[in-house]
Amino acid sequence: MSYSIDLNSDVGESYGVYALGNDEALMPLISSANIACGFHAGDPRVMRKTIQLALEHQVAIGAHPGLPDLNGFGRREMAITPEEAYELIIYQLGALQALTKAEGGVVRHVKPHGALYNMAAANSELAHGIAKAIYAVDSALIVYGLSGSALLQAGKEIGLQTASEVFADRTYQRDGSLTKRSEVNAQISDPNQASEQVIKMVTEGEVQTLDGQTHSIQADTVCIHGDGLHAVAFAQSVRQRLLAKEISIEAIRKKLKTGGEANA
């Protein structure tokens, strides 16, 4: 059986004079870029330069909206309503769309960031607020969410195309959730371990959890966090292992209303 997988990374997360990650080295290794939209990280100049970099390397552009929390990098939970989530998504997605259009590109997907992503994975009402916002802006957008999450279910119910996301650099709990960053062994630091986890998820549809169990998982797109210390090494290792297994790396195509696929 032949496989293909989308390899994505969270990028554009610098701010002003503060640089985070190595987008220049990551971009040639991935097929989709989730670009920060100014709330948890990023600013207009960083967003524009990251868009240009993605277009240069023919990488699919996605919006990476987060909670309004620059100090906490969007990784601290905030008590927001579904209506507030709706407004946050539209505001940030609109900003990235405008900058992308000005550079001659198109936004293809949306992936919430950090705490907002994890909250939407478990909270159905919040997930629906996010999905409704994405659909209201552009019903052709693809929503990226944690495999098996409430966000993916909400996206399907609204009528969006969805992509089940798995993580190369994070460990899993037996319910399929990601281990909280505050816990021991939440992050994987060995590129070989990350690559093995990705191959198992893509080819076998399973992930080994921290307690030694296996959990069924769907892998449409694999994330490597761009702010990680070993992000470039992880991307290189994962990419090499995938290609060695004859698994192609390509962005997820939009489905047309007729059931076909679009190249945009």
Under the banding of pLDDT at 50, 70 and 90, the label for residue 230 is confident
Number of structural domains (the chain) is 1
- State which amino acid sits at residue 171: T
Look at residue 51 in the predicted model and tell me its pLDDT: 98
Q: Give the whole-angstrom CA distance, residue 19 versus residue 125.
A: 35
What is the per-residue pLDDT across 140-183, written as a single tens digit (0 to 9) for each?
Answer: 999 999 999 999 999 999 999 999 999 988 899 988 889 988 88
Under the banding of pLDDT at 50, 70 and 90, the label for residue 136 is very high
Of the two residues 188 and 112, the one the predictor is more confident about is 112
Percent of residues, the chain, with pLDDT higher than 70: 95
Chain centre distance of CA 225:
9
For residues 129, 132, 138, 142, the Cα torsion angle rounded to the nearest 10 degrees is 70
Phi/psi at 185 (5° precision): 65, 25
Phi/psi at 203 (5° precision): -90, -25
CB 235 within 8 A of CB 26: yes
Look at residue 187 in the predicted model and tell me its pLDDT: 86
SS3 label, residue 242: helix
Look at residue 224 in the predicted model and tell me its pLDDT: 87
What is the per-residue pLDDT across 19-53, written as a single tens digit (0 to 9) for each?
Answer: 998 999 999 999 999 999 999 999 999 999 999 99
The predicted model gives 93-101 an average pLDDT of 98
Q: Which residue has the tokens 């240009």?
A: 52
Q: Give the whole-angstrom CA distance, residue 27 versus residue 19.
A: 16
SS3 label, residue 225: strand
CB 117 within 8 A of CB 181: no
Look at residue 222 in the predicted model and tell me its pLDDT: 94
Please say if the pLDDT value at position 259 is more than 70. no
β-strand partners of 142? 109, 161
The predicted model gives 66-70 an average pLDDT of 96
Under the banding of pLDDT at 50, 70 and 90, the label for residue 254 is low
What is the per-residue pLDDT across 74-89, written as a single tens digit (0 to 9) for each?
Answer: 999 999 999 999 999 9
Look at residue 258 in the predicted model and tell me its pLDDT: 39
212 phi-psi bin (left φ>0, alpha ψ -120 to 50, beta other):
left
Please say if the pLDDT value at position 13 is more than 90. yes
Using alpha carbons, list the distances in angstroms from residue 106 to 81, 119, 138, 180.
Answer: 29, 27, 11, 33
Under DSSP, the state recorded for 255 is: E
Please tell me the total number of residues recorded for the chain in this structure.
264
Please say if the pLDDT value at position 246 is more than 60. yes
Look at residue 255 in the predicted model and tell me its pLDDT: 53
SS3 label, residue 69: coil
Domain holding 247, by residue range, is: 3-262
Give the residue from 166, 168, 174, 177 showing the smallest Cα distance to 210: 174
Look at residue 24 in the predicted model and tell me its pLDDT: 95
The predicted model gives 103-123 an average pLDDT of 97
CATH number assigned to the domain comprising residue 77: 3.20.20.370
Q: Give the mean pLDDT of the chain.
A: 92
Please say if the pLDDT value at position 262 is more than 50. no
Look at residue 30 in the predicted model and tell me its pLDDT: 96
Q: Give the whole-angstrom CA distance, residue 259 versus residue 4.
A: 19
The pTM (predicted TM-score) of the whole model is 0.92
